[in-house]
Structure 1
Amino acid sequence: MPKAGEPLGDFRYRVSDLGFPISEEGMQMVQKLRKEQEKRDQDGKGMFIYNDWNGRGMSELMENFLIDFNKDIFKKTMSHFKKWAYVEGLACFVKSAHLMDWMGNEDGLGVEEIIHMLGVMVLTSFSMLSEHSLFKPDSEVKNIGVMSLLLLEFLHGPATDFDCVWGPEVVRLCDEAGFELDKDLRKQIELTKENLQDMRDLAWIPEDDSSEDGSEKVCYPWDWELEYEQFKMYHEGGNEYDLTNMSEEDREAYTLETKAYARRIGIDSDSEPDPDPDSGSDSDSDSDSDSDSDSDSDSDSDSDSDSDSDSDSDQLNKQE
């Protein structure tokens, strides 16, 4: 770093070992994603609705994110830097967010479709930058390489079990544009040069989408408009998993360690505790005692009655 009082100069374009370069718009996008995730986090709010609530909430969040991107990407009045903020926000979010619930969601196919669409979003953003001559190493957008690596780390790490094929295409396009991804690797990114080379070996080429004899091109697999038109039919987004939309009464009913939660799951927290098991024996003892007492009393009564009967019999004999 420059000494105190020295101009920043080229240091403006360097990345420290303490973090990643991100624009103000990109940071706002990260914060928005985090806030939306918090709204759908039952654990963070001390609640329990069902196991997959957080995972399905994350899918809903990402669907809303893609809906917003679809609205903005073709706006001619919107700055390309603001459009790029979607990629910045996504890259930094998947780097820092807790993704286990999402990756382990029982709707694995739905998660895979969302991740595929996120890849199409990234590649569409590359095309957008290219149209403005900004997809190049000396671009005004200074973090293309780093953001690409963060996304590749996500595919290689948390999303490794999903059939996501857009990673090699990211590497191919970056290589063709002159970005040196190998040099952009740093200790904060859990990716190696070998991982990048593996992706290069798998990169898509035009021949992959041609007919067997090569005479007919089938389609480009990353066309946003075509892919999103199909995607949105099954991924409508919304706010179903936004816990802040629940009524206060419903939130209490699903909040752990509350009386409302106990009543909902069938435990009446206001009921009297079970009596002491020993108290029953005391009662039995008292009952037995009463029974014995009654028995003794009956026995004494019978004895007295017999005695009186004998006495009367003797008196009659004497009179005779």
Structure 2
Amino acid sequence: MLTATNTNAAPSATRLTKSAKVSGATNAPGASGLTECPIKFVCVPRPFWDFRLEYKGESDDDDEDENAGSPREKAWNETLEEARKTWLRPATEFPGYTWTLSLKARKLNKKYDLQTQKRDQDAFGMFIYNDFTGYGLQEVIQNQLSAFNNEFTSEKPSPFTMWYMIESLAWWFNSSDTMLWNMIDDGERVCETLQIVGLTVLSTLNNLEQADLFKNDSVIPNIPLILSLFLGFLGNSADAMSVRGEDQDWPIAITAYAEKHDVKIKGKYGISGKHYRANRLSAKKIALVKKAASVDKWRFKQRYREFSAAYGNGGVEFDITKMPEAERKAKAFDNEDPLDGMPAAASEDQSTDADEPFQKVGSKEDEEG
């Protein structure tokens, strides 16, 4: 069933002192008058994919951990009970609360989660070819990068819009199983994609810096969390990326940026700037981080043009729901159209629900967030 995974976010009030439109907010140097935030942030429960890192046993498949009376399940239920106190509440009401997300990012989360589901051949009972689902994940990533590029190259790119786009990107990488993407037969494409992902983050931080939004008392409350999510999804591959050259040392550059602005990276379990020490950067890259913010300091436009020329801008090629019916039947295990037994797929353009109820503690839905 194609339904949007709940990303544990909900509407809230803004943290504003004067009005500003997301699409029109300036990112010009010295735009320190941005004392309000045109996007809404809310408190969300700690997601299960982070919780399990803390309570992970010797084996993720250990049935003992799944029992209602196990220490892990008790701790998870307690976590959710505590989360009820902040569910749907504005982030501004709970200063210092770690798990916050903008409603704009939550909407994108739903969109890209649905795109991910539509490209999973196993979920449709089909076999197209070995790397089909992996390339489907590649397409979803490129759809996100293409959307970011459209904003970045627009006439008046907004640092707020860029921020909620990378919020969603960070959440997607942490909540999605990207193993099949890492295993596609074009490893160079995966590495080059990670390079562009890094440039979206560094370019956004540069624009936040231009607008005087990269600081501890920023109107954007979840900078430490989102940076920890970008460092966290890389796992053990960050060191391998670093030795491939300066193009892949962006996780360490994130730490250097945070140190420059005295922002402590925290949020995802077990992740901090200590894992990616800034002093491991080359002198050239350290100088670039320390250099004053400027338009396209990280040359994102040029690098993305080269990337898209080689790999395109995403699309719907791997969306199974858009395949011809005859092709779906031919690739299905039972030679029937898998869409015949499914409800109509939800729209990818969903609004956030201000009255969304809190999930039942211990339900399967809790683990999918």
Q: TM-score, structure 1 length as denominator? A: 0.67
Deviation at 1:14, TM superposition (A): 2.4
Check if 1:238 corresponds to 2:315: yes
Q: Which one of the candidate residues 86, 89, 94 is aligned to 1:12?
A: 94
Partner of 2:327: 250
Q: Which one of the candidate residues 174, 185, 208 is aligned to 2:258?
A: 174
Whole-Å Cα distance in 2 between the matches of residues 95 and 103 of structure 1? 14
Q: Which has the higher helix share?
A: 1
Whole-Å Cα distance in 2 between the matches of residues 10 and 73 of structure 1? 28
Which is further off, 227-236 or 7-16? 7-16
Partner of 2:22: none
Check if 1:61 corresponds to 2:146: no
Which is further off, 74-83 or 133-142? 74-83
Confirm or deny: 8 A CA contact 2:255 2:273 kept in the other structure: no
Whole-Å Cα distance in 1 between the matches of residues 334 and 195 of structure 2? 40
Deviation at 1:78, TM superposition (A): 5.7
* Structure 1 gaps, min length 5: 211-219, 262-320
Deviation at 1:124, TM superposition (A): 0.6
Instruction: Describe the superposition over 1:172-220 as per-residue Cα deviations: whole angstroms up to 9, x where unpaired.
Output: 0111011022xx24xx424256414xx323224327899xxxxxxxxx9
Partner of 1:120: 199
Partner of 1:101: 180
Deviation at 1:157, TM superposition (A): 4.2
Confirm or deny: 8 A CA contact 2:131 2:185 kept in the other structure: yes
Q: How does 1:54-93 map to 2 (within 5 A)?
A: 54-76=133-155, 79-93=158-172
The alpha-carbon distance between structure 1 residues 246 and 10, as it changes in their structure 2 partners (threshold 3 A), is: closer
Partner of 1:200: 278
Whole-Å Cα distance in 1 between the matches of residues 224 and 144 of structure 2? 22
The alpha-carbon distance between structure 1 residues 94 and 66, as it changes in their structure 2 partners (threshold 3 A), is: same
Q: Which one of the candidate residues 121, 125, 141 is aligned to 1:42?
A: 121
Partner of 1:191: 271
Higher RCO structure (Cα 8 Å, ≥6 apart) = 2
Instruction: Describe the superposition over 1:241-275 as per-residue Cα deviations: whole angstroms up to 9, x where unpaired.
Output: 111111122111111133799xxxxxxxxxxxxxx
Confirm or deny: 8 A CA contact 2:119 2:137 kept in the other structure: yes
Whole-Å Cα distance in 2 between the matches of residues 141 and 173 of structure 1? 16
The alpha-carbon distance between structure 1 residues 8 and 69, as it changes in their structure 2 partners (threshold 3 A), is: closer
The alpha-carbon distance between structure 1 residues 9 and 189, as it changes in their structure 2 partners (threshold 3 A), is: closer
Instruction: Describe the superposition over 1:101-136 as per-residue Cα deviations: whole angstroms up to 9, x where unpaired.
Output: 011111110011011001001111111111211011
Confirm or deny: 8 A CA contact 1:134 1:140 kept in the other structure: yes
Confirm or deny: 8 A CA contact 1:169 1:204 kept in the other structure: no
Whole-Å Cα distance in 1 between the matches of residues 250 and 160 of structure 2? 23
The CA RMSD over aligned residues, in Å, is 3.0
Partner of 1:223: 299
Deviation at 1:159, TM superposition (A): 6.3
Deviation at 1:158, TM superposition (A): 6.2
Counterpart amino acid of residue 29 in structure 1: L
Whole-Å Cα distance in 1 between the matches of residues 222 and 301 of structure 2? 26
Deviation at 1:49, TM superposition (A): 0.6
User: Matched residues, percent identical?
Assistant: 27
Whole-Å Cα distance in 2 between the matches of residues 225 and 77 of structure 1? 15
Counterpart amino acid of residue 226 in structure 1: Q
The alpha-carbon distance between structure 1 residues 120 and 9, as it changes in their structure 2 partners (threshold 3 A), is: closer
Whole-Å Cα distance in 2 between the matches of residues 92 and 8 of structure 1? 19
Whole-Å Cα distance in 2 between the matches of residues 13 and 205 of structure 1? 36
The alpha-carbon distance between structure 1 residues 76 and 221, as it changes in their structure 2 partners (threshold 3 A), is: closer
The alpha-carbon distance between structure 1 residues 205 and 11, as it changes in their structure 2 partners (threshold 3 A), is: farther
- Computing the radius of gyration from Cα coordinates, the structure with the larger value is 1
The alpha-carbon distance between structure 1 residues 260 and 12, as it changes in their structure 2 partners (threshold 3 A), is: closer
Deviation at 1:13, TM superposition (A): 2.4
Partner of 2:43: none
Secondary structure at the aligned position of 2:219 is classed as: coil
